Structure 1
């Protein structure tokens, strides 16, 4: 059998699950309830709600109930009409989605341009055994295609089919088998909580509450503390989002890419096919330095321009020791392409914590301290056969790594003071996301040479890059390709092959 011949992938048009209108209309109901409760509370506070006279209370409740019921019915009706107007089909080369009641919208996602596939289960959907499948493609803002909602088993089977089709895999049977995977690491809940307690939002939240509480006690009025409720609630929301998105975080390696699983209320299973990561950033804040923790973010085409943010769609490691951060880096970029005989771990370590010209980094000249007095000694760039590494920041450390084949464009920027000092900043433009690689305040001549040579490297690397269908043996789709069941589980990473250019795992434990 070939993909696209059975189930939801039979090439025919399909509707979403019949419970979809209910899951979409509950948000309208929640907004109405909040509005009603808020209005009722304001009337009580202002003393305008008169419930001593039964006929007044009865008219108020009857009128409010009728308005509430009308709004709910309209919301449910619109959700049902939207469900009836939404349909999708899966072809051999693309996923098509038609939506809209008054204004029709048609989306077509080419499977060979697929960047990631997510199976998402919001809390209510999980109670009903439903899931949303989201396909991210390389198309910038709002380029994703979301199917909300399908039965959980159907969503996972469709996910397997899309990955198999995108990889060029042919399989026997009605459904595509799920690729074998090897669990690589899991973030303990205790570590996640502690990392949030020593983060900047937590310190700001606790410090703000204490300062405002002291001011309120001094003046004898709770106004300052009560007036800051909204910003304090915002800081608490940031902490809650990071905890919810990092809860149960697990990463696995499989032939069809990286598998990420995370989420407390909304559970998400994200699959990133090989070669889809555009840039990687390893970061460490000042408060995490004594604990030795790092976080890993990536740019993936399609994630940066929609409702996905760096905390949910582009995080490969919320918090972990250096050995885990380098291990995750090895999953997406196992070969740094360093010189023969050179230990790639030394290069990465110099990028994470080093200063000066260690491990061959081209650093900012001493005169750059006039424009960057704190971080000038750490700012640097290193070019290998496979990637470009940019380190920056002394208080908040960053190491950005961009494969040559994933370079979007290059640029030089120079301000008035930089021109006077003979400096320039080298910029690599990646897809939208949390990683923005910039080598600041380099020598002007060196920066000009770097951009000229790097443009040639990027062009050559793109010509050598593998096919979009990464598991295809032949360029002919009709020739059978490898089957998932014949694929062994991936070897442990990082690979320990000294002098080969592959990342070595340092001699320390997590």
Structure 2
């Protein structure tokens, strides 16, 4: 007879042990990473010393005379300084390298670094907007690269891992993209309780869609508004200098002219050998002359697209395509943003539409050719565009008939510009918020601008000078349309959503791009 409340019969064997918790696989970067990361500081210190020596040239000549008198002693002192600095740099690099660890788990990418001030960066995979493999010029010398994990939280939440060997960087890119897409990696639990080796993911196949020849890129820069303004500015300065019989205007404008030249050079070097491909991972972009960059934009991460055509490009039928991506807009200065947010530097209309198709394969319309003709080169109410009323000519006498708004089943299309044609496309699910803007003159004319807010970037979606009643009506309807599209978008793990086979490699390593 068994007493109630007792423990009951004992099991035949010992209780089953619970599986050990998964441990992150902490990995180290290359040992020269601290030195490569510190080169900018070294250059800044050397530049400051040269500047100081230039301001004190007389004292420098006196010092050089003293060095000639005590040549051997000066040589030993210089050698000692080099040895001490080298020792300090070696100790710092060793300590910094030991503290710099990274790990990729099923939920996040983590990076630990710092000696005096320790930092821990944590990027959730569901927030990953892009993964870039970057090879700066100095990194290419050593065959090393960085992996930049861009997230939706802005520059402060991005994770930069490097330096790694080139094939290791691409393998890490493949792993981050696969995990972010929802591909599960096998978890190993060795008897020692330590984390097992990191799994290897095969690189997803791709198909090249766009390529920009170097001669077309150079020609586009020669015909760009930036270079035209630079030439006009230099000509005006020369005329002023001749009339004033002084070179002061030229030297005074020197920093601005140099900045302009560096901007044009940055565009050429950053967009050189541009290629775009499509893969299950998303859109892959490769470009760069001195610093090479391999970008991967997962599906659905592009917030807005802008197709533009300057007046001087019109005889050649060239277009430029730029995008807004969360994580790119406010990162490390304007020059890097110029390079990262380009989907097509320059290309014919067919290439520009291919770039648009990479972002938005379905415009939600039956007559797509007619819609694109009206959007890119048309004006007026063709293809169902809502345009500015005739009274808008008082605030926009040149482009009022070109201004237009069109809503399709999947996107918001905003066209503008007579001298520089522009078409902005915003998918409904990427509309962050909507607003109406009116200036004093627009209020008097009963006009309003409709703004579709996007993330920080080069694309600003605005429908200019609409009838104010139409703008209010569109705002209410588009807000509901965007909310419905976001609700139907599905999970962030896109490969699980579409059923793309992409798992860990067994006997195949990760290929490099």
Shared fold (TM-score, shorter chain, > 0.5): yes
Give the corresponding residue for 1:241.
266
2:34 paired residue number: 21
**Shift of residue 57 of structure 1?**
5.9
* Structure 1 residues 426 and 59, CA gap change in structure 2 (3 angstroms): farther
Aligned to 2:326: 301
* Distance 1:445-1:122 versus aligned 2 partners, 3 A rule: same
Shift of 1:56: 5.9
The answer to whether residue 237 in structure 2 is matched with residue 212 in structure 1 is yes
**Paired residues of 1:50 and 1:56 also in contact (CA < 8 A):** no
Which of 207, 216, 233 matches 1:182?
Answer: 207
Task: Give distance in 1, aligned partners of 2:224 and 2:325.
Answer: 25
2:354 to 324, 327, 330: 327
TM-score by length of 1: 0.85
SS in 2 for 1:382: strand
- Name 2:46's counterpart in structure 1: 33
**CA deviation map 1:310-338 (0-9, x unaligned):** 42111100111111000110111010001
Supply the distance in 2 between the matched residues of 1:417 and 1:211 (Cα, whole angstroms).
35
**Cα separation, partners in 2 of 1:36 and 1:111, compared to 1, 3 Å:** same
2:339 aligns with 312
The one of 368, 387, 406 aligned to 1:382? 406
Give the greater-gyration-radius structure (CA): 2
Aligned position for 1:95: 109
How do residues 366-445 of structure 1 correspond to structure 2 at under 5 angstroms?
366-445=390-469
1:17-66, CA deviations, whole angstroms, 9 ceiling, x for partnerless residues?
1011221222222222222333333444xx55435973266689889998
Q: Which residue of 2 aligns with 1:107?
A: 121
Do 1:299 and 1:314's aligned partners in 2 also have CA atoms closer than 8 Å? yes
Shift of 1:300: 0.8
Would you say the 8 A contact 1:180–1:484 is kept in 2?
no
Q: Distance in 2 between matches of 1:237 and 1:228?
A: 14
TM-score when normalising by structure 2: 0.84
RMSD, aligned CA: 2.8
Match runs of 1:94-173 below 5 Å = 94-170=108-184
Instruction: Please identify, of 141-150 and 63-72, the stretch whose mean Cα deviation from structure 2 is larger.
Output: 63-72
Q: Is the 8 A contact 2:133 2:169 kept in 1?
A: yes
In structure 2, how many angstroms separate the alpha carbons of the residues matched to 1:83 and 1:468?
34
**8 Å Cα contact 1:168/1:481 also seen in 2:** no
> What is the alpha-carbon distance in structure 1 between the residues aligned to residue 92 and residue 322 of structure 2?
39
Figure out how many residues of one structure are paired with residues of the other and give that number: 468
CA drift of 1:15 comes to 2.6
Map Cα deviations across residues 218-252 of structure 1 (whole Å, 9 max, x no partner): 55543333332211110100001000111010001
The unaligned stretches of length 5 or more in structure 2 are: 1-21, 187-197, 506-513
> For each residue in 1:147-201, what CA deviation from the matched residue of structure 2 results, as whole angstroms up to 9, or x when unmatched?
0211111111111111111112357994111011111121000011111111122
Note the residue ranges of structure 1 that are not aligned, 5 or more in a row. 1-8, 475-479, 487-510
State which drifts further: 174-183 or 304-313: 304-313
**Secondary structure of the equivalent of 1:169?**
coil
Distance 1:469 1:53 in 2: 66
1:29·1:72 contact (CA, 8 Å) conserved in 2? Answer: no
